[in-house]
Amino acid sequence: MFRGLRLQLTLLYTLAAFMLVALVGGGAYLVVARYFQQVTDLALRHKMAHEFNALNAPLPADLVSADRDWSLIRNEPGLLSRQWTAPLSEAEAVKRAVAYHGNGAPERVEREEKRGREVYEVRFPDGAKVIVDRSSGAILDAEGGTERRGEHAPLPTPAAPGAPLAYDGELAAIFVLPLDTSGQVLFNPNPAAAPLAPDRQALEAALSQGSDERTVSLSDGQRVRLLTYRLTRADGPAALQLGRVLSDQDRVLWQLALGLLVLGSLSMGLLGAASWWLAGRALRPAQAAWERQQRFIASASHELRTPLTLIRASAEVALRNVAPEDADQRELLGDVLAESDHMRRLVDDLLTLSRLDSGQLPLSLAPVEVSPFLAEVQRQVARLGVERGVTVMLEEAGGEVCADVDRLRQVLLIILDNALRHTPSGGRITLAATPRGREVRFQVTDTGSGIAPEHLPHIFERFYRVDPARGRASGNAGLGLSIAKALITAMGGQIGASSAPGQGTTVWFTLPGR
């Protein structure tokens, strides 16, 4: 009994620990996976903003925000930081022009507007003219349009003083595919070939909605995160598709999952052992008290048998010596005999339950032929049924079971006794047994008063009586069916009942067949 309870407590503790470990481990995995996804998406948008800027295409607002977020999170100047810093001063424009021209001081500087841009026009004594965009600091062509890429690069405008310009693995892992409306790659700006062909579905979604973001899988199982934008210029590519292979992130996530699984398994093993020890320690006082109670019941039952036997023998001797005409004396002695028998049955029931609980009830399991066995039980009980006006019938009976024949007879007599108690005169009790696969199902059906649904789940509990007043009047202590259930369970079977008020009751049990 307590071993099963200890196992249940261990499973409960272990389940609670498993949920905690799963919650912590799963949370850690999801946090890392979410971080990878956010960093990848931000890097793709930041790189997309850079590509838009390189093509002199107007930037969508979300790409500008992505560039700012990247710069703030990484604490380094963004690729587009010059687009959102303060407008360039004249002195800074002169510095950039001199750095670009590379020869001598400028002759004059003029601030004017070209193609809707505010620019500084810096002229040199040799006649050279350098145009500097006031908002971005870029060196423009003679008309103030396309950014020029000369041998002298423009000086950078830092987003934060002292912030380093560093190589970033996230940006280096991104490949760029300039696409036309049909999905053809116009040119390859990547240092190596792209790992996949353009995704047509992503392109179509970007052309219709402006942008698209999705994760696709390659034929070898690798995942690729794609970001596709419709270009905001009328000339040049129709769309840009940027991607990043996620194999390195997947490898890290797999290693993390494997580590969490190994750590979780070790933790579960340790927690399971600790739970078993803790459950045993918690149940030790209760088990000791239970064992003392069982020893007391067994000792009391043995001690009560001797005086009960002496009382009954004395009452029988006294009854034989009473004169036939002394009716009152004979009635009193008959009551003593009846109560002695009742007490003897109660003591025997308590002793049986005590032995069942402690696992010390001896069972002699042997093959039992069901048909002749049930015929003998029916013949014995039929006599009692005649006295009460109840017919006890044997229907079909077949098969062979492995059981203790005395304990099997005890179970059937308990069930039949209950049926006789609750079946009125003129009723019928049917006894049957049918083989079902590897077991035999025994069944006792009566036409008695039945059992209400609220009582049916409790009828196999100890000392439970559907009608307490009637049980006390008939001498029923409420132990019969609980003993029957314990005996059937000890012999490897199951027991149950079905009933409805006014329609009788069926009690069934199964035993392993031969």
What is the token pair recorded at 147?
């950014």
Interval 120-143 mean pLDDT: 81
The C-alpha atoms of residue 131 and residue 141 are separated, in whole angstroms, by 7
| Amino acid 277: pLDDT | 85
Q: Write out pLDDT tens, residues 53-69.
A: 888 888 888 888 888 88
The C-alpha atoms of residue 363 and residue 356 are separated, in whole angstroms, by 10
User: What's the Cα-to-Cα distance from 487 to each of 211, 261, 350, 356, rounded to whole Å?
Assistant: 74, 45, 13, 8
Query: Percent of the chain at pLDDT above 90?
Result: 31
Give the model's confidence band at 473: pLDDT under 50 very low, under 70 low, under 90 confident, else very high.
Answer: very low
| Amino acid 435: pLDDT | 92
Interval 466-477 mean pLDDT: 54
Mean pLDDT over the full length of the chain:
82
What is the token pair recorded at 250?
């997947």
| Amino acid 289: pLDDT | 74
The pLDDT of residue 171 is above 90: no
The pLDDT of residue 84 is above 50: no
Query: Percent of the chain at pLDDT above 70?
Result: 84
311 or 297: whose pLDDT is higher? 311
| Amino acid 106: pLDDT | 87
| Amino acid 375: pLDDT | 93
What is the token pair recorded at 433?
């047994």
CA nearest to 236, candidates 141, 146, 316:
146
Domains recognised in the chain with CATH numbers:
173-245 (3.30.450.20), 366-512 (3.30.565.10)
| Amino acid 434: pLDDT | 92
The C-alpha atoms of residue 477 and residue 473 are separated, in whole angstroms, by 10
Q: Write out pLDDT tens, residues 316-373.
A: 888 888 877 788 888 888 888 878 877 777 777 777 777 777 666 788 899 999 999 9
The pLDDT of residue 220 is above 80: yes
The pLDDT of residue 188 is above 70: yes
Radius of gyration of the chain (CA): 47
Interval 86-96 mean pLDDT: 78
Interval 15-19 mean pLDDT: 86
The pLDDT of residue 153 is above 50: no
The C-alpha atoms of residue 444 and residue 378 are separated, in whole angstroms, by 11
Q: 47-56, 85-94, 387-396: which has the highest mean pLDDT? A: 387-396
Residue reference for tokens 């500087």: 109
Q: How far is CA 282 from the centre of its chain?
A: 27
Bridge partners for 225 per DSSP: 215, 244
DSSP structural state of residue 89: P
Give the model's confidence band at 157: pLDDT under 50 very low, under 70 low, under 90 confident, else very high.
Answer: very low
**Surface-to-core class of residue 180, CB atoms within 10 Å of its CB (0-12 exposed, 13-18 middle, 19+ buried):** middle
The pLDDT of residue 495 is above 60: yes
40 or 310: whose pLDDT is higher? 40
| Amino acid 376: pLDDT | 92
CA nearest to 96, candidates 144, 155, 140, 136:
155
The pLDDT of residue 394 is above 60: yes
| Amino acid 143: pLDDT | 64
What is the token pair recorded at 96?
């950039």
Interval 3-10 mean pLDDT: 78
| Amino acid 155: pLDDT | 40
| Amino acid 373: pLDDT | 93
The C-alpha atoms of residue 365 and residue 363 are separated, in whole angstroms, by 6
Give the model's confidence band at 82: pLDDT under 50 very low, under 70 low, under 90 confident, else very high.
Answer: very low
- Does residue 84 contact residue 71 with C-beta atoms inside 8 Å? no
Low-confidence winner among 19-28, 55-64, 166-175 (lowest mean pLDDT): 166-175
Interval 110-123 mean pLDDT: 83
| Amino acid 168: pLDDT | 55
End-to-end C-alpha distance for the chain, whole angstroms: 28
The C-alpha atoms of residue 159 and residue 166 are separated, in whole angstroms, by 14
Positive or negative, the CA dihedral 136, 141, 143, 145 is negative
Give the model's confidence band at 432: pLDDT under 50 very low, under 70 low, under 90 confident, else very high.
Answer: very high
Q: Residue 473: count other Cβ atoms within 10 Å of its Cβ.
A: 9
The one-letter amino acid at 382: A
| Amino acid 468: pLDDT | 55
Which stretches of 72-159 are assigned E, i.e. beta strand? 108-114, 117-123, 129-133, 139-140
The C-alpha atoms of residue 14 and residue 269 are separated, in whole angstroms, by 9
- Does residue 55 contact residue 134 with C-beta atoms inside 8 Å? no
Interval 216-223 mean pLDDT: 90
Give the model's confidence band at 163: pLDDT under 50 very low, under 70 low, under 90 confident, else very high.
Answer: very low
140 Rama sector, left if φ>0, alpha if ψ -120 to 50, beta otherwise:
beta
Low-confidence winner among 17-26, 229-238, 292-301, 437-446 (lowest mean pLDDT): 292-301
Residue reference for tokens 């129709």: 238
Q: Is the pTM higher than 0.85?
A: no
User: What's the Cα-to-Cα distance from 173 to each of 136, 155, 164, 186, 227, rounded to whole Å?
Assistant: 27, 26, 20, 21, 14
The C-alpha atoms of residue 243 and residue 386 are separated, in whole angstroms, by 92
DSSP structural state of residue 135: T
391 Rama sector, left if φ>0, alpha if ψ -120 to 50, beta otherwise:
beta
Q: What are phi and psi of 391, to 5 degrees?
A: -90, 125
Bridge partners for 400 per DSSP: 369
- Reduced DSSP (H G I as helix, E B as strand, rest coil) percent helix, strand, coil of the chain, to 5: 50, 20, 30
- Does residue 422 contact residue 505 with C-beta atoms inside 8 Å? yes
What one-character-per-residue DSSP string does 24-66 give?
A: HHHHHHHHHHHHHHHHHHHHHHHHHHHHHHHTTPPPPHHHHHH
**Surface-to-core class of residue 138, CB atoms within 10 Å of its CB (0-12 exposed, 13-18 middle, 19+ buried):** buried
Residue reference for tokens 């307490």: 468
The C-alpha atoms of residue 213 and residue 220 are separated, in whole angstroms, by 21
DSSP structural state of residue 146: S
111 or 479: whose pLDDT is higher? 111
DSSP structural state of residue 498: E
Extract long-range pairs of 19-24: CB within 8 Å, 24+ residues apart. 21/264, 21/267, 21/268, 21/271, 22/264
The pLDDT of residue 147 is above 90: no
